[in-house]
Amino acid sequence: MGDFKLTTVEEFEAATARLLETGAKVGADSWQLRVKNQTPHCKFGEQGVCCRICSMGPCRITPKAPRGICGCDAHGIVGRNYLKFTAGGAATHSDHGREICHTLHAAAPDGAYKVKDPAKLIRIAQEWGVETEGKDIYDLAHEMAELALMEYGKPFGYQRWMSRLPEHTQKLWMDAEIAPRAIDREVASSLHMTHMGCSSKPEALVRQSIRAGLGDGWGGSMCGTEFSDVLFGTPTPIETEANLGVMNAENVNIVVHGHDPSLSEMICEYADDPEMIAYAKSLGAKGITVSGVCCTSNEVTMRRGIPMAGNFLQQENVVLTGACEAIVVDVQCIFPALGPLSKCFHTKFITTSPIAQQPDSDYIPFSVGTAAEKAKEIVKMAIDNFQNRKPELVHIPDMKQKATVGYSLEAIVKVLDGVTNSQVDVLGTTKPLLECVTSGVLRGAVAMVGCNNPKVRPDSAHIDLMKKLIANDIIIVTTGCSAQAAAKAGLMDKRAKDLCGAGLKRVCELADIPPVLHMGSCVDISRMMVLVATLAKDSGLKISQLPVVGCAPEWMSEKAVSIGNYVVGTGIDTFLGVDPYVSGSSEMAYWLTEGVRDWVEAGYTVETDIDKLCDAMIDRIEEKRAALGI
């Protein structure tokens, strides 16, 4: 392995502790302090048995008060809360997807946004039955954007992307009445069902939760991923680095954070502009470094190799380095703490979306029409701020790892097919991957996703699980903050193959891949869904028969619950390390872990002991193999 060594969680924590010392000097607050103030958490909230959907309450369920004022019991209250949680997540992902469709609609050959992957646009158009012959690519882009936007509100029919699924799954969804209709309808129906005096039956609430999740994963998120690829390019393997050490003390540091790549792509363009670099040099910097946090980071690392400064619970750390000239945010997962924190330093906290407006920020509204001009303004503002740095506060932890990222579905298929077929075309086939699985060279795959969360020692569950799984010849595909945990640790360095079992190590060597494959941002879990659907179609198996499971060991957001519902809904057993506030209802626990299996042939397992969670996943994969006789 030469000098390769994983970075440990203890080393992450030591680096954070050093940054918090700087924070203490300037009176900065931190999530570590706020967790202490909020602990212990409200037990009613944790169990999901607090109801405040009407003004007769709030009602809380106890042994002495088993029903709310309207008569709803714990099962109905927990179920409604769960569905509302899902609707929040489905709305959020899907609205992100909608914005991307609008960006595509505004794409123009001489505009800020162009079609970078016309071949993918044509493939999707043909999939949707749209005539492409002789059509100008921008006319086609606008037509496809309109059709995609119709998926959000069409009065009849189901999501177009469903046609990518095996017929068996489509039939399951129709039979169970969970096939997703218009994306906005699934969100609105969910909120209608949870209104006072509507549904209080756990079975119905879980059924709609799965349906709303499917509207996200096989609707809004898929629009987000697929049309982002059309606009910004479909990711291919690319080298980058991860962790706070990617920031450069001699450069102007701009950190992009959030989810929507429309802004960050433009920031990257202008940070690369020779005029801007010359301007930064004229003010004493050696250059400009753009790095990222959360899924905006995943978007730009996948396509441009922009380094990842960190994940969700590291967002305050980038400011605490004292070397961040601007943290530029779009939507989702942005701590309101960044406003007051940035005031303790010279950092500009720049909000850009009407969807995510926060106190103590410089609000520079960003829109498709003004993208270039606003991105330039933001980059210039960051450069101007370089002079305001306080050198005595600057400390960037010397900690980073190499990572190979950019494993879109197309890239995974191509690299694996390329091992056996040197003539592979742009899409290739999943046959070599299936052969690796059926022969037992690979035991299976885990889709590791989601956030980090102070309830779990941050990043430790992601990293420990991945290490154990790859040692057992189970390949990992990952997105979101889980992917960044892996990259920070070094698990996306190709040299991490030496931590694998003999089978996975061989695959990594032959295909020249790391054992943990970065598939992108949270919306890109849709890439994983298309991958399993393709594997099922190519093998003739049902999705639920594949030795594949999903896992979100440290999840925290509403989006993660929506994701969990569509992963389960697609037929993939899903393992959670944090309870989704359902422990207050045995009936909800039943429907999520067992009842749902009758509809979609998969269900949830919740286990907060991470070792047990890992064993349960390995057991599940081996059970599936045994059932197939492989």
The Cα 335–Cα 254 span in angstroms is 17
Per-residue three-class SS string for 430-448? CHHHHHHHHHCCCCEEEEE
> What are the C-alpha distances in Å from 104 to residues 97, 107, 229, 258?
11, 5, 10, 20
Output the six-digit token pair for 257.
């954070």
> CB of residue 198 vs ligand MSK: minimum separation in angstroms?
28
Residues in the chain: 630
Q: Which is nearer to ligand MSK, 452 or 585 (CB)?
A: 452
Closest by CA to 77, choosing from 605, 583, 579, 607, is 583
Q: Which is nearer to ligand MSK, 451 or 541 (CB)?
A: 451
Q: Which is nearer to ligand MSK, 38 or 387 (CB)?
A: 38
Residue with token string 């050490």 = 245
Output the six-digit token pair for 379.
């980059």
> CB of residue 3 vs ligand MSK: minimum separation in angstroms?
30
3-class secondary-structure state, position 349 = strand
> What are the C-alpha distances in Å from 361 to residues 223, 252, 380, 393?
30, 19, 17, 21
Q: Which is nearer to ligand MSK, 564 or 603 (CB)?
A: 564
| Amino acid in position 104 | L
> CB of residue 581 vs ligand MSK: minimum separation in angstroms?
17
The answer to whether 283 touches 325, Cβ cutoff 8 Å, is no
> CB of residue 445 vs ligand MSK: minimum separation in angstroms?
19
Residue ranges that bind ligand MSK, judged by CB under 6 A: 259, 294-295, 311-312, 333, 450-451, 480-481, 521-522, 557, 559-560
3-class secondary-structure state, position 157 = coil
The Cα 259–Cα 355 span in angstroms is 12
> CB of residue 294 vs ligand MSK: minimum separation in angstroms?
4
Q: Which is nearer to ligand MSK, 24 or 35 (CB)?
A: 35
Strands (E), 451-515: 474-479
Q: Which is nearer to ligand MSK, 172 or 560 (CB)?
A: 560
The Cα 558–Cα 203 span in angstroms is 20
Q: Which is nearer to ligand MSK, 185 or 559 (CB)?
A: 559
> CB of residue 559 vs ligand MSK: minimum separation in angstroms?
5
E strand or H helix that includes residue 255: strand 252-258
The answer to whether 223 touches 101, Cβ cutoff 8 Å, is yes
Q: Which is nearer to ligand MSK, 311 or 585 (CB)?
A: 311
Q: Which is nearer to ligand MSK, 224 or 515 (CB)?
A: 224
The answer to whether 70 touches 64, Cβ cutoff 8 Å, is no
Axis crossing angle, helix 371-385 with helix 274-282, rounded to the nearest 10: 20
The answer to whether 473 touches 575, Cβ cutoff 8 Å, is no
Output the six-digit token pair for 34.
């706020």
3-class secondary-structure state, position 388 = helix
Closest by CA to 492, choosing from 333, 621, 315, 302, is 302
Q: Report CA 246 to chain centroid distance, whole Å.
A: 21
Q: Which is nearer to ligand MSK, 259 or 304 (CB)?
A: 259
Straight-line distance from the first to the last Cα atom of the chain, in angstroms, rounded to the nearest whole number: 32
> CB of residue 501 vs ligand MSK: minimum separation in angstroms?
27
> CB of residue 185 vs ligand MSK: minimum separation in angstroms?
24
User: Long-range pairs for 32-39 at CB < 8 Å and ≥24 separation?
Assistant: 32/454, 34/337, 35/454
Output the six-digit token pair for 218.
């096989």
The answer to whether 584 touches 48, Cβ cutoff 8 Å, is yes
Helix/strand/coil percent split, the chain, to 5: 55, 10, 35
The DSSP output letter for 495 is: G
The answer to whether 517 touches 475, Cβ cutoff 8 Å, is yes
> CB of residue 174 vs ligand MSK: minimum separation in angstroms?
30
Q: Which is nearer to ligand MSK, 145 or 403 (CB)?
A: 403
Q: Which is nearer to ligand MSK, 28 or 329 (CB)?
A: 329
Q: Report CA 331 to chain centroid distance, whole Å.
A: 13
The Cα 451–Cα 294 span in angstroms is 9
Q: Which is nearer to ligand MSK, 232 or 270 (CB)?
A: 232
Q: Which is nearer to ligand MSK, 259 or 467 (CB)?
A: 259
Output the six-digit token pair for 573.
């057993």
> CB of residue 104 vs ligand MSK: minimum separation in angstroms?
21
Q: Which is nearer to ligand MSK, 418 or 454 (CB)?
A: 454
Q: Which is nearer to ligand MSK, 344 or 552 (CB)?
A: 552
444-448 vs 474-479, strand pairing mode: parallel
* Rounded-to-10 torsion of CA 102, 180, 528, 521: 40
